[in-house]
Structures are given as structure tokens and as C-alpha cells.
A = this chain, B = another copy of it.
Amino acid sequence: MSNTSYDTYRENVAGRADVEDTPELVAYYKELAQLKTGALWTVANKIEPWQPKSESVPVLWRYRALRDHVLRSVDLVTPEKAGRRVIYLNNPGRQDVSAAVGWLYSGLQVMHPGEAASAHAHSSSALRFIMEGRGAYTIVDGHKMTLNANDFVLTPNGTWHEHGVAADGTTCIWQDGLDIPLVNAMEAGFYAVHPDLQQAVTHPVDDMPAIWGGKGLRPHDGNWTKPYSPLYKYEWAPTYEALVRHSKVTDGSPFDGVLMHYVNPVTGGPVMPTIGASMQLLRPGEATRAHRHTGSFIYQVAKGSGYSVINGQRFDWTERDIFCVPSWAFHEHANASASDDAVLFCFNDLPVMHSLGLYREQALAENGGHQVVL
């Protein structure tokens, strides 16, 4: 702290620090610094804010703007040199940690038919959400999952995993979601390249969704104690069907329409300890009310078009667009169609907020619950 001023954060409020710099105090502060210490009252109001103020800004990334750049990476770099050809989303407020929002990383990855990335493992948790193409697959600890558009697949903390596209497939693009920034911040990041660069497929293809994907059913021989979901792949078709069926019997949430969380079927809890995911349906013409809560959220439009208002700023979106909602930002969503439903995929750090006891939520009270668009 080379600053000559120590009283930047003063607040004239009972119970808050309000100490003016004096020569004597400044001398004292300098002595404290020598001892690798400081006076709390010089920073208390800074480090104990009245409420969160996110470093991240709301951003919408248009797929039609990004897609060409993603495809171009195939020509510009080889998989051998680049590892993976990924364009990552770089929130203007989080460039120091390469985050899309908060402590979440996201990128768009492209792969040509017949290509396969090398296998690795890391203490970050990851998910993939398929955007386009046929023939994509992911292998997790010897289990191979085939993937189609709007499917969502897990590659949890500590698993050997790799991605590829079948030789008879088409160019595939998907969204990666990881907690890399969080794991780095927690100073707990480990990385390993698979000794054989590729791992063997040691189980029948798509076995985990077959074994664990029963509706209200658990396999008798399924003795699963790992801290993440054994389901691995969550397919689009049954998810969408569940949302539609659900939408016919409930009003849904005033803030989110009909929203369902992807869960670990063994526990009913989140799919991984650090990343949650959900899919939500907005009925034709539905416009939700605004609320805000802690946690960082990345959305991808799985179906339809509409707009979201985030901290007073309107973002219009259509299929495959991606946008983020920072912590404690007011947000509301609207389906622009009067005839078709709109569906948003989302991943977030809600499990972290809940584990650490930090989740808080507040509805917008004013203006019928709708923000004034700036």
C-alpha cells in the first residue's frame, strides 16, 4: 500500500469506520506495515461492504458473431500444438482470471470429424453443452458417451477425460463450462496428462446413462459414493419432455418460469460439488419478474428467442447465444414468441453458494417486479 492516503473508505455511519488521517496515525500505519500488519479501520468499510458489488459485468455473446472465429481456429492451430481449439469468453471485469463471470470459465470448442483431444485429468470440474454437429463423444474414466445438440455431459474433478468426433460425424461445436478460476483461487489446481495420451474405452458405450438414467429408479448394483453424478450424460429429449410436462401442472417460478435442476440421482443434490446446471422453459409470451441472488450464472439459449434484463440493461437473445448474470445483479427473462416456448440452459456456482452458506435472494419490490430498462 504505497498510497499516502489511508482514509479513502470512511463512512459517517454509526458502527462503521470513520477515522481521518493525521500525521501521527499515518506514522503509526507505516510502522504497522513494517510488521506485515495494518489497522483494520483503514480498510474495514472496503472489505465489509453493505452488499455485494460484482467485479463482473453482464455480457451477451452472440453465436453468429463468434461462430466464424471458432471455426477459423481449426485452420490456425493444430490440436497437437493448441491442446484444444477453444475460444474462451473473457468478461471485461474478469480478464485477470480468464473468467466468463465470477469464478466460472467458459469457452466454445470446435473439433473436426476424426479428431480426438488427448486425455487428461484436473481438479477442476467441467461440463460440455453440445451446440451443433453430429458424432461428438466424451470419454470419462473409460465410459464413452455419444453426444447430440443440447445434450449436457460431465467430466468431474479428478476423472480422466477426453473429447472427440467420430470419423463419420460432422464438425462439432460445444460450450465448455469449468470452475478453473475458482479452483485456482482456492489454490487447489492440479493437472495431469494421461500417460497413454488416449485412454481405452472399457465399458459399453453410453452405459452410465443406461444404468443410472431410470426415472425414479436406482440400479441394484450401483454402489456409487463419489461426490458427483454417475449419470454423466443428460440428454435433451427427456429433459425437454419433462419441462413441457411440468409446465402443464404448475405455474412455475415467478422469476424463472418452469425451471428444473440437473441432479445427481444418487443424492438428489447437484451434479458436481462446484457447478450446478439447470434447464428452464419460458412459455409463449411469458415474462418473469426480476430478482437477484448471490452466485454467478452462464446461460445458453437452447431453444427459441427472447430477452433478459440484467441490472437494467436489456439483452436480446436467440438460439445458441450465451449470456451471463453476475452475483447480486437483478435479472428477469422474457420469451419473445407468442406461440413457441423458449428454453435456457444454465450452469452456475450455486452448489458453492449453498455449501458455504452464502446464498441470499431478493425480489425486486418496485415497479411490479420489473426493472426500468436504462
Contact = CB atoms under 8 A, between A and B. Distances in A.
Interface of A: 1, 13-19, 24-25, 28, 31-33, 35-41, 43-44, 46-55, 59, 61, 65-66, 69, 72-73, 76-77, 80-92, 95, 97-98, 102-103, 105, 107, 118, 120, 122-125, 157-158, 180-194, 197, 203-204, 206-207, 210-221, 227-229, 231, 234-235, 238-239, 242-243, 245-246, 248-250, 252-253, 256, 259-268, 272-274, 278-280, 294-296, 326-328, 352-353, 355-360
A41 B246 contact: no
The 10 closest A-B pairs by CB, nearest first: A15-B193, A214-B242, A187-B327, A40-B86, A207-B249, A188-B358, A355-B355, A220-B259, A41-B82, A217-B260
B184 A49 contact: yes
A183 to B, nearest CB: 7
Contacts of A73: 39
B88 A188 contact: no
Contact of A294 (B40, B158, B186, B246): B186
A242 B238 CA distance: 13
Contacts of A210: 245-246, 248-250
Given A76-B28, A207-B250, A98 B220 contact: no
Given A19-B82, A88-B37, A216-B231, A204 B14 contact: no
A190 B89 contact: no
Interface centre among A36, A294, A353 (most CB of B within 10 A): A36
Most chain B beta-carbon neighbours within 10 Å: one of A53, A103, A215: A215
Contact of A215 (B38, B215, B268): B215
Integer count of this chain's copies in the complex: 4
Of the listed residues A84, A246, A259, the one surrounded by the most CB atoms of chain B closer than 10 A to its CB is A246
Nearest to A31: B69
A296 B185 CA distance: 12
Given A1-B95, A356-B273, A215 B191 contact: no
A255 to B, nearest CB: 9
Contacts of A35: 61, 65-66, 69
B246 A203 contact: no
Given A47-B180, A252-B221, A360-B188, A83 B268 contact: no
Nearest to A156: B357
16 contacts: A19-B82, A24-B76, A37-B69, A40-B82, A43-B98, A47-B180, A48-B189, A125-B357, A157-B357, A204-B250, A214-B239, A216-B229, A218-B268, A219-B260, A264-B268, A268-B268
